Chain A
Amino acid sequence: MRLDVSVIQAGGPDLSWLDESDEHTHRYTCGSAAIQLSKRQGYPKTFAKLAGSRLMVGYGSAKAVRRMTSLKALAIGSMADSLSEEFMLAEYDLAAGSFKLLRDAYTTLPLFWADGGDRHVISSSFPGVLAGLPPTKLTLNHKNLTELLLLLDINQETLFYEVNLLTERSLLKIRGGRAKLELPPDRPAIQEDKTAPRHFNQALDNIVDQYAGERISPKAVFELSGGIDSATVPGYLADRRKIQPATLSMLFPGKFRTTQRAKIKAWHERFGGINKSYDIQASDYPFSRFGSETPDLPPYQFQEIYTEILDKTAALAAKQAGADTVVTGMGGDELFENVDLAKDNHEGAAEIDRRQDSKIPAIYTPAFADMLAQTLKHMDRRRTTPIPLAGRSALFGGYSRNNVYLERGLWPVSPLSDWRLFEFCQSLPIKHRANKNILRAYQQARRFPEDIYSAQVNENFGDFFDSSITSNLRPLLANLLHDSQLVTLGIIQPKTVLARFDELTSNKKAILPVNFFTLATAELILSSVKKLGFKIKT
């Protein structure tokens, strides 16, 4: 599914929308203002409703759609009360010259928006939003650049000041050529030790039952990695609802493939159903779609980790099962992680202090340390973005991941990411959260295969990604360094970077492989933006 919007103050005597929708796309234009949204008939259902100069488009559950399409414009904010629903609602009123876009707490469809001076552009795709802007200047966001290169947590910003993410429960308003963002309040505080561990199974079952009622369609497929998280929901549904789960697995090369296969086999022997697996190849990652060339369209950061692998796995489902939904295990880590939601929200004084202590990898020049110091000077010591309802990292992971599935027509559904379950689990005593002890107890009680819930056998998928940074990437890296934005900024020197890279690939691991991944990612984004015709103001 994809959304693209161009918001331009159209004006003129004729304020009527031209409806050019077809069976695949809701498509409306008025002068140079345009909105188009891919259609979905299953969950979530998309809709478009035209009333005079006013157009409402969006998606949601059948209930949410009924409610949204019967609303008057002023009630747009009231959808924020529907926090347990997935939805997106856009209203474009040509007569009033206003545009509003409200999104839910789940953010399954990523939304990027850009202020391009004479126009505003919104797209579910990062390259889509850039492609909608006039190729003039983009301003490099130094703070986001340091975050990408140092693997610091990010917020709603991107590498360019003009382009931002529309995060959970946000309302974007555009009127008179100006954009205004209304952010939601902080999520309510969560008290540790408040919830009773003995009620965990009911809390989890209730959420999955609710999802099974509408969000998990009969044509759903289930990710099954062999790990504890993704095994949970299809296992419960196989027992409770007697479904025959169709599962999808990505099998990593090397030693993990053997243990993954064994766990997946054991899981299916217990719960039935069928499995389709994709054997990940070493050539699937990283930068496999780019060769040694600059891509035509800029990837969103970290999307590269998933694209090839998820896409090949999704193809198994989309081609053979007619599947329209993929149920993932995302969110399982965040349920039990140890966070202080108020402090660890990646902003404010605590975050500035943490960044001041950052260790800078030896591929960067002293100018990079200066850049980091400058960004810290401009960070607010008070937190300025709200604490999200759900686990923050699961939400942000979705911005990099979900489009791969969505482009294959698969709607990602992640019951373990649900904010209500997150709230319950974060309030459990630490001994139950540690090592996911309570989820292991749940699976043991439900007689899952012991290898799945046993704490003794864990695959570390990070090993695969780290070991994928090999000398094969040298031509790409050398090419990127040849016309490098980071060199222009003075934060790297090609000779030093290549020397460190050669050390790494000959097993002198003074530098983490991921440092080269992030450096190459930043260069790829910047160089492909230049290829689109943009000048980057640094």
Chain B
Amino acid sequence: MDTVHTVERSEDIEAQAEADERFAQIVETIELAPLSGEELEELVKIPVAKDAGTQDQGYRFD
């Protein structure tokens, strides 16, 4: 743990730009199959609440 350290920031513009470009391409491909309103709601509920039957203050180990 003693090895934790930071060094001077490297902007690394090229790698950043490449990642951004890849992201732009991937994000264009995101689609959902047609779902009912209920199915959509279920899909984006907080996973821990859905899985464990607990409330929001329940099991939170992200």
Given A219-B4, A243-B5, A438-B30: A397 and B12 interface contact (C-beta under 8 Å): no
- Establish whether residues B2 and A434, one from each chain, have CB atoms under 8 Å apart when the complex forms: no
| Residue in contact with A445 in the complex, picked from B19, B55, B61, CB distance below 8 Å | B19
- Establish whether residues A396 and B43, one from each chain, have CB atoms under 8 Å apart when the complex forms: no
- Establish whether residues A338 and B41, one from each chain, have CB atoms under 8 Å apart when the complex forms: yes
- Establish whether residues A458 and B56, one from each chain, have CB atoms under 8 Å apart when the complex forms: no
| Residue in contact with B3 in the complex, picked from A244, A338, A512, CB distance below 8 Å | A244
Q: Mark A444-477, 1 if CB is under 8 A from B, else 0.
A: 1111000000000010111101100000000000
Given A323-B1, A434-B43, A434-B44: A151 and B53 interface contact (C-beta under 8 Å): yes
Given A301-B57, A441-B23: A432 and B30 interface contact (C-beta under 8 Å): yes
- Establish whether residues A462 and B62, one from each chain, have CB atoms under 8 Å apart when the complex forms: no
- Establish whether residues A240 and B12, one from each chain, have CB atoms under 8 Å apart when the complex forms: yes
State in angstroms the CA–CA spacing of A107 and B53 once bound together. 26
Question: In this complex, what residue of B is CB-closest to A461?
Answer: B61
Interface centre among B6, B10, B43 (most CB of A within 10 A): B6
Q: Mark A321-343, 1 if CB is under 8 A from B, else 0.
A: 11100001111111011100000
- Establish whether residues B40 and A244, one from each chain, have CB atoms under 8 Å apart when the complex forms: no
| Contact surface of A with B, Cβ cutoff 8 Å | 151-154, 197-198, 200-202, 218-221, 223, 225, 227, 229-230, 239-246, 250, 273-274, 276, 301-302, 305-306, 309, 316-317, 320-323, 328-334, 336-338, 392-393, 396-397, 399-401, 430-435, 437-438, 441-442, 444-447, 458, 460-463, 465-466, 512, 514
- Establish whether residues B62 and A229, one from each chain, have CB atoms under 8 Å apart when the complex forms: yes
Chain A min CB distance to B29 (Å): 8
- Cβ of A444: which chain B residues have Cβ within 8 Å of it? 22, 26
- Cβ of B30: which chain A residues have Cβ within 8 Å of it? 197, 431-432, 437-438, 441
- Establish whether residues A321 and B32, one from each chain, have CB atoms under 8 Å apart when the complex forms: no
Does B14 count as interface, using CB distance less than 8 angstroms? no
Interface centre among B22, B46, B53 (most CB of A within 10 A): B46
Given A201-B23, A441-B27, A444-B26: A243 and B55 interface contact (C-beta under 8 Å): no
- Establish whether residues B58 and A305, one from each chain, have CB atoms under 8 Å apart when the complex forms: yes
Question: In this complex, what residue of B is CB-closest to A205?
Answer: B16
Interface residues of B in 10-62 (CB under 8 A from A): 10, 12, 15-16, 19-20, 22-28, 30-32, 40-41, 43-48, 51-62
In this complex, how many residues of chain B approach chain A with their Cβ under 8 Å: the count is 44
Given A330-B62, A460-B51, A514-B52: A397 and B57 interface contact (C-beta under 8 Å): yes
Classify the interface of chain B: helix, strand, loop or mixed.
loop
State in angstroms the CA–CA spacing of A41 and B26 once bound together. 43
**16 pairs of residues in contact across A and B, judged by CB atoms under 8 Å:** A218-B5, A218-B6, A223-B62, A230-B62, A320-B2, A323-B4, A334-B46, A338-B41, A434-B43, A435-B43, A441-B27, A442-B23, A445-B19, A461-B59, A463-B51, A514-B58
State in angstroms the CA–CA spacing of A441 and B32 once bound together. 14
- Establish whether residues B10 and A242, one from each chain, have CB atoms under 8 Å apart when the complex forms: yes
- Establish whether residues A445 and B1, one from each chain, have CB atoms under 8 Å apart when the complex forms: no
State in angstroms the CA–CA spacing of A392 and B45 once bound together. 14
- Establish whether residues B9 and A220, one from each chain, have CB atoms under 8 Å apart when the complex forms: no
- Establish whether residues B16 and A221, one from each chain, have CB atoms under 8 Å apart when the complex forms: no
Question: In this complex, what residue of B is CB-closest to A310?
Answer: B61
- Establish whether residues A462 and B59, one from each chain, have CB atoms under 8 Å apart when the complex forms: yes
- Cβ of A332: which chain B residues have Cβ within 8 Å of it? 62
Chain A min CB distance to B51 (Å): 5
Question: In this complex, what residue of A is CB-closest to B16?
Answer: A240
- Establish whether residues A197 and B27, one from each chain, have CB atoms under 8 Å apart when the complex forms: yes
- Establish whether residues B27 and A328, one from each chain, have CB atoms under 8 Å apart when the complex forms: no
- Cβ of A514: which chain B residues have Cβ within 8 Å of it? 52-54, 58
State in angstroms the CA–CA spacing of A445 and B25 once bound together. 9
- Establish whether residues A221 and B1, one from each chain, have CB atoms under 8 Å apart when the complex forms: yes
- Establish whether residues A151 and B62, one from each chain, have CB atoms under 8 Å apart when the complex forms: no
Chain A min CB distance to B32 (Å): 4
Chain B min CB distance to A226 (Å): 10
- Establish whether residues A462 and B51, one from each chain, have CB atoms under 8 Å apart when the complex forms: yes
- Establish whether residues A397 and B51, one from each chain, have CB atoms under 8 Å apart when the complex forms: no
Chain B min CB distance to A143 (Å): 15
Question: In this complex, what residue of A is CB-closest to B46?
Answer: A333
Interface centre among A221, A225, A399, A431 (most CB of B within 10 A): A431
Question: In this complex, what residue of B is CB-closest to A444?
Answer: B26
- Cβ of A438: which chain B residues have Cβ within 8 Å of it? 27, 30
- Cβ of B10: which chain A residues have Cβ within 8 Å of it? 240-242
- Cβ of B27: which chain A residues have Cβ within 8 Å of it? 197-198, 200, 432, 438, 441
| Residue in contact with B61 in the complex, picked from A225, A245, A446, CB distance below 8 Å | A225
Given A321-B1, A446-B19, A466-B52, 14 additional A-B pairs, CB 8 A: A225-B61, A239-B19, A243-B6, A323-B1, A330-B62, A333-B48, A333-B62, A397-B57, A430-B32, A432-B30, A435-B43, A445-B22, A447-B19, A512-B53
Chain A min CB distance to B3 (Å): 6
State in angstroms the CA–CA spacing of A462 and B51 once bound together. 7
- Cβ of A301: which chain B residues have Cβ within 8 Å of it? 57
- Establish whether residues B51 and A276, one from each chain, have CB atoms under 8 Å apart when the complex forms: no
Interface centre among A198, A250, A309, A399 (most CB of B within 10 A): A198
